[in-house]
């Protein structure tokens, strides 16, 4: 067992974990962050995407021990005192989700994408989301939502923090 | 799925890591970003006794110019490679290929050293390593040794790394001025592995209607159990006329010499047959894509 | 732009729908592009996936699965696994044989259909790779996974049966002792032999509908618990109601002691329209162990064991006159059942039987389907279920006919489709299409697509021998959807009806609770049903809550599949609202001291004609709750139920056009543009409808270009992970251009048709037609699906000789 400290959505957790424990299982099974789901075994689907020290990562492909000392942001930590994150709002407005299973990962990947490209073209959004699979929407509305969310974030001065 | 149980150590220095690895014996595995290893563990295709996490070792980080080389720490993430001005200036082919590796989230975690040491011939970076004659800096308790790329990749998922060795860095020779670069990746979906990839560096000479290939380097992805250096193409393409600005490699025009040279791309290769492509189709792709990569690199 | 067009269409059709004679009171919400109520929990991660559930004392189940396609089980030893830390129990199939019963098939399509026993856990023999042979139950999922490796199983290999044609040979190894032919089902209308005799043109083709893996993003998961008397099963299922009935029959747990809950369900596409081995076994395990149990599948487990889709071999021929007018169609189908018949396995290809004629008129039609057993995962419903296969065949044939005759593919279709004024139209396959306007949808699609300009570009590329050729694919389709009419289903030997149920409750404060028997898993019923109720009862959209997916709350339902929710379940909601309104009218009349007939109901109020007197429905609800002053003999409740069973299916249609660039050097394809003009009748929520079309397109394109479940020569599944079974990402798909025409259905009061499967059904042939069209000058007349670069390249090589 290893003792690790991980900050998740602003709260520090100290946990005794088996080295093989996946970060996503730490989140889901240990600290109840079930907003981040699991969709595959191979790092392909992206449903479990979170921010690890500020950049997107697939939490099914990271050991909890690798995240020792790190800061994790999940979809559950996005909303602020003023309500939803602009990207959450944009996904709602543009009908960018149906079953919603891919949505947490998709939103995290979208926010990450804007850190490098605050005003992405349609092609840039599509390329930036290549690691996040959705089976419901056909992606058209997701692309629109990401660009809409980007606009809202630019207006709020909330992008390009890197 | 769930990984099998293993022990885990996270040494704080390279000597500690080497000691831990030596102590752990043959069933130990080195963990860096984990983007290749974690899926293998989850599918229970690997049962390491110990994972030695080298991801935070200071000795494995950092990108710097070193004489005629760019030295890139093995734990440098793909994302850091893409952002590094030193890499972009010193070995532009590497970021071109790195940008096609997996997806952004994987590139944040996955490392250059990890990808190379994993030695998957379908990975994009080993072909770049052989094309650029990278040198692999390998450490063991006995000290450091340098392994040329041509000797590093031994077989499918097998490298010249010995059990108690750690890949510390790669040294990428600078190619000098006048080179153009391209990585041509052929895959079935955006995040799928390369069916075939071609890493090309070309130094064109001449001007206007008389542009020619002076020198070229070509590495092939997924055309055998190890990345392949297409020496035959490199030799044959020397002196081949290049199309003027804007033209393609159209039949009958300039570029035929490149086409003829590229037709040698599959010579001496033993491409795999799998779910997505037969060996025959891979050979065909290698020829077509090599032509495209050479022309794009020269453009 | 599309939204504006939609609004115009809605306005025009609203006027037309008054002719239906059954007006819908108020129209503020139906037709509005409401944002979804469901989204709040989904975008914030406050979701209720089955795998999220943690119960005190909960145990985790993992299954040992067959590594072989076909084998006799000679020994299973779970004793070593049982001794591992954290392991509470371990069972073989033999341990459970006496109580596990068999998995049900609800659709015996012929009287002599072979229906093999299907034990949830294999006892004697395994017949597909991945079939469960043992299970372990442990205190956490990691320990359960470890314990799997300690279970010892000995197999005696038996021959795999993989190819359908060979499976039907007399000397083939058998999957079941009764033989590999599950059934033969025939349909014939008109004189096909006469139609083909002397026909100037006959086009014959064989198409392979490759096997697909549905790949809902949420893997299956089950949680079962018992208090010693009654049982609760949470499952990622599309069919909590059907599941409850079937589990009661299978396990012997009395129906009234079993509650089934489908929490948030992350997509289904037919794959969760099933009674699965894992659901049955979870119930048995919680009954044996007295503790809650959970099983969550991994993706690689799911690719092996979630039922697969399609997998048919279609031998089709079309007879036509020299003018391209169709005379007859013959279809000889082999349908791969896989190793067992699951819930509706044998019925899936027959759902296509009625659709091979598409939107066309013809004199004769002959259909034969042979169901074949193989040692593969059973097939069952996958988005479209039978209809995509049928539509693919006829739409590919129409393009081939056009090529044969040197006609434009759109023109060949025009010459054959049912004209607007011919509706209702009795088709050669025995259905009555109620409405449609194929010309309007096609004209709109051609306009949006820029058909003539793309044809000109195609000609130019051909002319200059461009290595990148352009192909244009057409697909004009219809489908029967809204799987419902119980009498029709009965005539097809289906084991249940197709009605749907709804309850509408008026709460004292005037808010409304709706309980629906539909069971959404991404569609947006909470939103759409709220819109219907808001209009029907004149209450605000926000004042409606919709409950679903829990048999403890919604006792009666037929669930969600086959594009049936709105056209059947939505109608049930509307009918229940009608009853609420009529009850309220009686009480309002009493309160207003007026005759009920003198009241009109508008904007949520009952008004006495000619006076200002009025009572809102909320006031009536409160008065009903108080019950101080009700008419004699009227019970103090407005709550109402309705069970709706339509007379006919609904028949959405549309025209899809696809332009594909084909790199003739590598065989790579790229969709350049895609236009879909669908007619789904009147629309409750255009945003949701467009979303359904988009998603359907992605799956249909997936079949055309990317997806295939592949078994190797030994019968092992090769495509067990998402790295092998390729579903398209955002970067692999184009922006879709969608629009709608609106020809209201005449078979339901809202004038609506189903939309869930339309995109999937239409798109596959549009894409493949485009790929073939690009290469036709090179002599290519077909490319098998998926049209991967290698297949396209090979087709070019073969055509070149």
Q: Where are the alpha helices (DSSP H) in C481-570?
A: 486-491, 525-537
**How far apart, in whole angstroms, are the C-alpha atoms of residue C655 and residue C651?**
14
Alpha-carbon separation of residue C245 from C79, C116, C234, C346, C559 (angstroms): 35, 21, 15, 20, 12
B45 in contact with chain A, both atoms CB, cutoff 8 A? no
- Separation in Å, CA of B171 to nearest CA in chain C: 31
- State whether B104 and A46 contact (CB < 8 Å): no
The tokens describing C707, both together, are: 């997806």
> What is the DSSP code string of C91-120?
EEHHHHTTT----------STT-------S
Q: What is the pLDDT of residue C801?
A: 84
Q: What is the pLDDT of residue A160?
A: 53
A partners (3+ CB pairs within 8 A) are: B, C
Of A25, A132, A141, Cβ closest to residue C694:
A141
Which residues of C are less than 8 Å from B188 in CB distance?
A: 706, 726, 788-789
- Separation in Å, CA of B56 to nearest CA in chain A: 9
Residue B133 has pLDDT above 50, yes or no: yes
Closest CA relative to residue C799, chosen from C775, C765, C770, C774: C775
**How far apart, in whole angstroms, are the C-alpha atoms of residue A138 and residue C294?**
32
- Separation in Å, CA of B274 to nearest CA in chain C: 10
Q: What is the pLDDT of residues B83-126, one digit of tens each?
A: 999 999 999 999 999 999 999 999 999 999 999 999 999 999 99
Which residues of C are less than 8 Å from B42 in CB distance?
A: 298
- Separation in Å, CA of B232 to nearest CA in chain A: 35
**Domain spanning A86-155: CATH superfamily:** [2Fe-2S]-binding domain (1.10.150.120)
**How far apart, in whole angstroms, are the C-alpha atoms of residue C386 and residue C390?**
6
Closest CA relative to residue C638, chosen from C652, C623, C649, C653: C623
- Separation in Å, CA of A72 to nearest CA in chain C: 15
Q: What is the pLDDT of residues C213-263, one digit of tens each?
A: 999 999 999 999 999 999 999 999 999 999 999 999 999 999 999 999 999
Residues C125-134 have a mean pLDDT of: 98
Of C724, C729, C794, Cβ closest to residue B275:
C724
Q: What is the pLDDT of residues B204-232, one digit of tens each?
A: 998 877 899 999 999 999 999 999 999 99
- Separation in Å, CA of C262 to nearest CA in chain A: 13
- State whether C298 and A142 contact (CB < 8 Å): no
Q: What is the pLDDT of residue A158?
A: 73
Map residue C614 onto helix, strand or coil. Answer: strand
Number of CB pairs < 8 Å for A and B?
Answer: 88
Is the C-alpha dihedral spanning C407, C408, C411, C417 positive or negative? positive
Answer yes or no: are the C-beta atoms of C531 and C30 closer than 8 Å: yes
What domains, with CATH codes, occur in chain B?
Answer: 7-53 (3.30.43.10), 58-173 (3.30.465.10), 180-298 (3.30.390.50)
Q: Which of C145, C300, C664 to mutate to test the interface with B (most CBs of B within 10 A)?
A: C145
For residue C21, name the pLDDT band (cuts at 50, 70, 90): very low
The tokens describing B212, both together, are: 């020619």
Query: Secondary structure of chain A: what % helix, strand, coil (to 5)?
Result: 40, 20, 45
Of B189, B276, B278, Cβ closest to residue C732:
B189
Residues C706-719 have a mean pLDDT of: 98
Q: Which residues pair with C63 in a beta bridge?
A: C135
Answer yes or no: are the C-beta atoms of C446 and C328 closer than 8 Å: no
**How far apart, in whole angstroms, are the C-alpha atoms of residue C599 and residue C608?**
5
Q: What is the pLDDT of residues C763-784, one digit of tens each?
A: 999 999 999 999 999 999 999 9
The tokens describing B206, both together, are: 């001449």
Q: What is the pLDDT of residue C27?
A: 53
- State whether C523 and A98 contact (CB < 8 Å): yes
For residue B253, name the pLDDT band (cuts at 50, 70, 90): low
Q: Where are the alpha helices (DSSP H) in C683-757?
A: 686-701
Residue C13 has pLDDT above 80, yes or no: no
- Separation in Å, CA of A80 to nearest CA in chain C: 11
Q: Give the A window 75-134 contacts with C, CB below 8 Å.
A: 75-76, 78-79, 84, 88, 91-93, 95, 97-104, 107, 122, 125-127, 129-134
Q: What is the pLDDT of residue C496?
A: 87
- Separation in Å, CA of B275 to nearest CA in chain C: 7
**How far apart, in whole angstroms, are the C-alpha atoms of residue C382 and residue B66?**
58
Longest pairwise C-alpha distance within chain A: 47
Answer yes or no: are the C-beta atoms of C366 and C188 closer than 8 Å: yes
Q: Give the B window 58-87 contacts with A, CB below 8 Å.
A: 79
Is the C-alpha dihedral spanning C729, C733, C739, C740 positive or negative? negative
Closest CA relative to residue B276, chosen from C312, C668, C300, C216: C668
CA angle B257, B260, B261 (to 5 degrees): 85
Contacts of C447 (CB under 8 A, 6+ apart): none
Q: What is the pLDDT of residues C281-323, one digit of tens each?
A: 999 999 999 999 999 999 999 999 999 999 999 999 999 999 9
The tokens describing B132, both together, are: 């650029």
Q: What is the pLDDT of residue C568?
A: 94
B207 in contact with chain A, both atoms CB, cutoff 8 A? no
**How far apart, in whole angstroms, are the C-alpha atoms of residue C624 and residue C613?**
18
- State whether B2 and C141 contact (CB < 8 Å): yes
Answer yes or no: are the C-beta atoms of C43 and A79 closer than 8 Å: no
**Domain spanning A2-77: CATH superfamily:** Beta-grasp domain (3.10.20.30)
User: For C594, phi and psi rounded to 5 degrees?
Assistant: -135, 165
- State whether B1 and C298 contact (CB < 8 Å): yes
The tokens describing B5, both together, are: 């149980």
Alpha-carbon separation of residue C423 from C335, C412, C437, C755 (angstroms): 32, 20, 9, 20
- State whether C790 and B2 contact (CB < 8 Å): no
Q: Which residues pair with C343 in a beta bridge?
A: none
Q: Give the B window 119-148 contacts with C, CB below 8 Å.
A: none
Q: What is the pLDDT of residue C16?
A: 37
Contacts of C103 (CB under 8 A, 6+ apart): C118, C119, C120, C250, C275, C276, C277, C280, C340, C342
Burial class (CB in 10 A: 0-12, 13-18, 19+), C464: exposed
> Mean pLDDT: which of A55-59, C5-9, C19-23 is highest?
A55-59
Q: What is the pLDDT of residue C231?
A: 98
- State whether C723 and B277 contact (CB < 8 Å): no
A138 in contact with chain C, both atoms CB, cutoff 8 A? yes
State the first-to-last Cα distance of chain C, in angstroms, to the nearest integer: 48
Map residue C695 onto helix, strand or coil. Answer: helix
Answer yes or no: are the C-beta atoms of C353 and C429 closer than 8 Å: yes
Burial class (CB in 10 A: 0-12, 13-18, 19+), C426: exposed
Answer yes or no: are the C-beta atoms of C757 and C689 closer than 8 Å: no
Answer yes or no: are the C-beta atoms of C313 and C389 closer than 8 Å: no
Of A132, A136, A139, Cβ closest to residue C733:
A139
Which residues of A are less than 8 Å from C262 in CB distance?
A: none
**How far apart, in whole angstroms, are the C-alpha atoms of residue B247 and residue C303?**
46
CA dihedral A125, A127, A130, A134 (to 10 degrees): 40
Number of CB pairs < 8 Å for B and C?
Answer: 53
- State whether A93 and C35 contact (CB < 8 Å): yes
**How far apart, in whole angstroms, are the C-alpha atoms of residue C472 and residue C137?**
55
Q: Give the C window 750-789 contacts with B, CB below 8 Å.
A: 788-789
The tokens describing C178, both together, are: 């009764």
For residue C15, name the pLDDT band (cuts at 50, 70, 90): very low
**How many helices (H) and strands (E) in chain B?**
12, 14
The tokens describing A63, both together, are: 């050991």
**How far apart, in whole angstroms, are the C-alpha atoms of residue B173 and residue B70?**
6
Of B5, B10, B38, Cβ closest to residue A61:
B38
The tokens describing B239, both together, are: 């002196």
What pTM was estimated for this model as a whole? 0.96
- Separation in Å, CA of A157 to nearest CA in chain B: 23
> What is the DSSP code string of C473-490?
EEEEEE--BS---HHHHH
Element housing C251 (H / E): helix C240-251
**How far apart, in whole angstroms, are the C-alpha atoms of residue C478 and residue C467?**
35
What domains, with CATH codes, occur in chain C?
Answer: 50-158+220-296 (3.90.1170.50), 309-483+648-800 (3.30.365.10), 499-644 (3.30.365.10)
| Chain A residue with the nearest C-alpha to that of B83 | A116
Q: Which DSSP state fits C340?
A: S
The tokens describing C267, both together, are: 């997509």
Q: What is the pLDDT of residue B250?
A: 47
The residue length of chain B stands at 299
Of A18, A63, A68, Cβ closest to residue B5:
A18
State the first-to-last Cα distance of chain B, in angstroms, to the nearest integer: 46
C297 in contact with chain B, both atoms CB, cutoff 8 A? no
For residue C658, name the pLDDT band (cuts at 50, 70, 90): very high
Residue C686 has pLDDT above 50, yes or no: yes
Answer yes or no: are the C-beta atoms of C102 and C343 closer than 8 Å: no
Residue A131 has pLDDT above 80, yes or no: yes
The residue length of chain A stands at 162
Q: Report CA A73 to chain centroid distance, whole Å.
A: 7
The tokens describing C547, both together, are: 């409950």
Residue C3 has pLDDT above 70, yes or no: no
Query: What are the E-state strand segments in A1-157?
Result: 2-8, 11-17, 49-52, 55-58, 71-73
Q: Which of B2, B48, B105 to mutate to test the interface with A (most CBs of A within 10 A)?
A: B105
Q: Which DSSP state fits C221?
A: E
Query: What are the E-state strand segments in chain B?
Result: 7-9, 29-31, 50-53, 63-66, 69-73, 135-140, 143-148, 153-155, 158-159, 166-173, 180-186, 196-205, 212-221, 228-229
Of B188, B284, B289, Cβ closest to residue C706:
B188
Q: Report CA B241 to chain centroid distance, whole Å.
A: 28
Contacts of A128 (CB under 8 A, 6+ apart): A109, A110, A112, A113, A117, A120, A146, B104
Contacts of B4 (CB under 8 A, 6+ apart): A20, B41, B44, B47, C146
């Amino acid at each position: 067992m290893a003792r690790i400290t991980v900050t998740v959505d602003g709260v520090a957790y100290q946990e005794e974990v088996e080295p093989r424990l996946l970060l996503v299982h730490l989140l889901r099974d240990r600290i109840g962050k079930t907003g981040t789901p699991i969709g595959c075994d191979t790092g392909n689907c992206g449903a479990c995407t979170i921010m690890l020290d500020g950049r997107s990562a697939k939490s099914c492909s990271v050991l909890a021990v690798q995240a020792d000392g790190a800061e994790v942001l999940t979809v559950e930590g996005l909303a602020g005192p003023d309500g939803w994150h602009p990207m959450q709002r944009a996904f709602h407005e543009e009908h960018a989700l149906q079953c919603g299973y891919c949505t947490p990962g998709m939103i995290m990947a979208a926010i990450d994408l804007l850190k490098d490209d605050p005003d992405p073209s349609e092609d840039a959004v599509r390329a930036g989301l290549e690691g996040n699979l959705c089976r419901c929407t056909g992606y058209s509305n997701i692309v629109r939502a990401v660009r809409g969310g980007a606009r809202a974030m630019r207006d709020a001065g909330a992008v390009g923090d890197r | 799925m769930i990984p099998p149980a293993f022990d885990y150590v996270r040494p704080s220095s390279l000597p500690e890591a080497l000691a831990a690895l030596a102590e752990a014996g043959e069933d130990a595995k080195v963990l860096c970003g984990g983007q290749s290893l974690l899926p293998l563990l989850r599918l229970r295709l690997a049962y390491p006794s110990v994972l030695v996490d080298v991801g935070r070792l200071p000795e494995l980080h950092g990108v710097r110019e070193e004489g005629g080389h760019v030295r890139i720490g093995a734990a440098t993430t793909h994302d850091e490679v893409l952002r590094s001005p030193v890499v972009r200036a010193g070995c532009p082919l590497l970021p071109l290929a790195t940008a096609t590796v997996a997806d952004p989230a994987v590139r944040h975690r996955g490392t250059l050293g990890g990808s190379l040491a994993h030695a998957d011939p379908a990975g994009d970076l080993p072909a770049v390593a052989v094309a650029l004659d990278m040198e692999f800096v390998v450490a063991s308790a006995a000290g450091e040794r340098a392994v040329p790329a041509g000797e590093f990749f031994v077989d499918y998922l097998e490298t010249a790394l010995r059990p108690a060795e750690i890949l510390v860095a790669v040294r990428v020779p600078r190619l000098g001025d006048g080179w153009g670069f391209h990585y041509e990746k052929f895959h079935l979906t955006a995040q799928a592995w390369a069916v075939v990839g071609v890493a090309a560096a070309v130094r064109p000479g001449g001007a206007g209607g008389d542009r020619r290939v002076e020198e070229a380097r070509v590495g092939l992805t997924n055309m055998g159990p190890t990345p392949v250096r297409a020496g035959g193409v490199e030799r044959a393409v020397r002196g081949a006329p290049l199309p003027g600005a804007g033209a393609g490699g159209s039949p009958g025009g300039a570029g035929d010499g490149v086409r003829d040279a590229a037709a040698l791309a599959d010579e001496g290769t033993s491409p795999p047959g799998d779910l997505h492509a037969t060996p025959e189709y891979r050979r065909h792709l290698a020829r077509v894509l090599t032509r495209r990569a050479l022309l794009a690199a020269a453009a | 732009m599309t939204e504006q067009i939609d609004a115009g269409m809605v306005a025009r059709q609203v006027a037309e729908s008054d002719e239906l004679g059954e007006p819908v009171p108020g129209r503020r919400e139906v037709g509005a592009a409401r944002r979804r109520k469901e989204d709040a929990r989904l975008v914030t991660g406050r979701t209720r996936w089955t795998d999220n559930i943690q119960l005190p004392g909960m145990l985790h189940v993992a299954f040992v699965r067959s590594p072989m396609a076909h084998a006799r089980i000679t020994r299973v030893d779970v004793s070593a696994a049982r001794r591992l830390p954290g392991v509470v129990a371990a069972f073989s199939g033999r341990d459970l044989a006496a109580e596990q019963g068999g998995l049900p098939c609800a659709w015996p399509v012929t009287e002599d259909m072979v229906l093999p026993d299907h034990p949830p856990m294999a006892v004697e023999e395994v017949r597909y790779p991945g079939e469960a042979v043992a299970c372990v139950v442990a205190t956490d999922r990691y320990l359960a996974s470890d314990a799997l490796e300690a279970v010892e199983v000995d197999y005696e290999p038996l021959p795999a049966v993989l190819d359908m044609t060979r499976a039907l040979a007399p000397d083939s190894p058998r999957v079941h002792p009764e033989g590999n032919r599950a059934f033969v089902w025939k349909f014939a209308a008109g004189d096909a032999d006469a139609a083909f005799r002397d026909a100037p043109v006959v086009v014959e083709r064989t198409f392979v509908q490759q096997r697909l893996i549905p790949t809902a993003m949420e893997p299956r998961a089950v949680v079962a618990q018992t208090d010693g008397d009654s049982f609760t099963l949470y499952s990622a299922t599309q069919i909590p109601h059907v599941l409850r009935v079937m589990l009661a029959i299978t396990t012997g747990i009395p129906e009234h002691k079993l509650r089934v809950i489908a929490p948030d369900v992350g997509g289904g596409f037919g794959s969760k329209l099933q009674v699965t081995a894992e659901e049955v076994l979870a119930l048995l395990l919680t009954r044996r162990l007295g503790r809650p149990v959970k099983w969550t599948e991994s993706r690689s487990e799911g690719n092996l064991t979630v039922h697969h889709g399609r997998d048919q071999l279609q031998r089709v021929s079309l007879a036509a006159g020299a003018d391209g007018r169709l005379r007859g169609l013959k279809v000889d189908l082999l349908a791969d059942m896989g190793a067992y018949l699951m819930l509706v396995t044998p019925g899936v290809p027959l759902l296509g039987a009625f659709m091979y004629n598409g939107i066309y008129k013809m004199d004769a039609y002959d259909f034969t389907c042979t169901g074949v057993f193989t040692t593969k995962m059973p097939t069952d419903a996958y988005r479209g279920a039978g209809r995509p296969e049928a539509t693919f065949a006829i739409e590919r044939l129409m393009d081939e006919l056009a090529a044969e005759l040197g006609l434009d593919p759109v023109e060949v279709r025009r010459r054959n489709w049912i004209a607007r004024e011919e509706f209702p139209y009795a088709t050669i396959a025995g259905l009555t299409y109620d409405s449609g306007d194929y010309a309007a949808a096609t004209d709109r699609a051609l306009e949006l697509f820029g058909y003539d300009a793309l044809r000109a570009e195609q000609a130019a590329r051909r002319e200059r021998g461009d290595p990148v050729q352009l192909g244009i694919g057409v697909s004009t389709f219809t489908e029967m959807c809204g799987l419902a009419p119980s009498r029709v289903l009965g005539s097809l030997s289906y084991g249940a009806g197709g009605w749907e149920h709804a309850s509408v409750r008026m709460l004292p404060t005037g808010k409304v609770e709706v309980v629906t028997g539909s069971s959404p898993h991404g569609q947006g019923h909470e939103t759409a049903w709220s819109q219907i109720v808001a209009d029907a009862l004149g209450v605000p959209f926000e004042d409606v809550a919709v409950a679903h997916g829990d048999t403890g709350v919604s006792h009666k339902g037929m669930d969600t599949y086959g594009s049936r929710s709105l056209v059947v379940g939505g109608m049930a909601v509307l009918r229940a609202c009608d009853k609420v309104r009529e009850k309220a009218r009686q009480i309002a009349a009493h309160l207003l001291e007026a005759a009920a007939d003198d009241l009109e109901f508008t904007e949520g109020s009952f008004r006495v004609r000619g006076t200002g007197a009025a009572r809102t429905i909320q006031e009536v609800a409160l008065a009903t709750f108080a019950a101080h002053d009700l008419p004699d003999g009227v019970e103090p409740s407005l709550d109402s139920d309705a069970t709706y069973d339509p007379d006919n299916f609904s028949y959405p249609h549309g025209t899809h056009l696809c332009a594909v660039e084909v790199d003739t050097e590598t065989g790579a394809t790229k969709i350049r543009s895609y236009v879909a003009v669908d007619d789904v009748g009147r629309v409750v929520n255009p945003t949701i409808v467009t979303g359904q079309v988009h998603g359907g397109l992605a799956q249909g394109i997936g079949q055309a270009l990317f997806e295939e479940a592949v078994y190797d020569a030994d019968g092992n599944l090769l495509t067990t992970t998402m790295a092998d079974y390729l579903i398209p990402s955002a970067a692999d798909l184009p922006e879709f251009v969608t629009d709608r025409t609106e020809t209201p259905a005449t078979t339901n009061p809202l004038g609506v048709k189903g939309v869930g499967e339309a995109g999937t059904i239409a798109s596959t042939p549009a894409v493949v037609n485009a790929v073939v069209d690009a290469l036709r000058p090179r002599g290519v007349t077909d490319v098998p699906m998926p049209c991967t670069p290698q297949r396209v390249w090979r087709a070019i090589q073969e055509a070149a000789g």
